[in-house]
Amino acid sequence: MKDLLTKKRKFIEQEIIELEAGCSAIIQKNLPPKFKDPGSFTIPITIGDLSVGRALLDLGASINLMPLSMLDRVGQVVVKPTRMTLQLADRSIKYPYGVIENMLVKVDKFIFPTDFVVMDMEEDSTIPIILGRPFMKTARAIIDVENGELKLRVQDEVITFNVFEATTLPNDKGACFRVDVLDEVVCEATKKLKNQFQMM
């Protein structure tokens, strides 16, 4: 037994040694170029009349997640109770507030029915909603990480978002303008006061 374990293999000068693909690629310098992180894929969404802002598309999430604080702004929705438990990455267990079914989420010109798990959690100010694999399947999402493109499809129509370019948020809010007429009011008040003091 000792001979089997300690016996060294002798190299034969004319022997051909086959290398595995990884080792061969390094020697031949056939490795693809290494790219920087393209960043996260986010898209602007609207729920009802509420422009939510950006939502994170997360291939690692098996649910679509909405913070409880957003319910007041969304409006009248039916939140169904659930016995679901969520195990987070740190192995802690969280219990959702409830589930919203078939909420209409507008992305550009497309509208998708989406189920959300509602959690009592702190709302992220820039990306309050996480859209997981169920949404991406409904939206028939195609992610091209190399080009930084995300495509959503409905039948034959396609919309494309580029993660490298800033995507503008929908402008659903009306414009508000301020007009300064303070100078005229001050001038009139000053004249009245001067006239009153001159009469005294």
Q: What is the pLDDT of residue 160?
A: 92
Question: Domains plus CATH for the chain?
Answer: 42-162 (2.40.70.10)
- pLDDT of 36 strictly over 90: no
Segment 135-171, tens digit of pLDDT? 999 999 999 888 888 999 999 999 998 877 755 444 4
- pLDDT of 13 strictly over 70: no
The answer to whether the beta carbons of residues 163 and 145 sit under 8 Å apart is: no
Q: What is the pLDDT of residue 102?
A: 93
C-alpha span between 200 and 197 (Å, rounded): 5
In DSSP terms, 43 is beta-bridged to 55
- pLDDT of 66 strictly over 90: yes
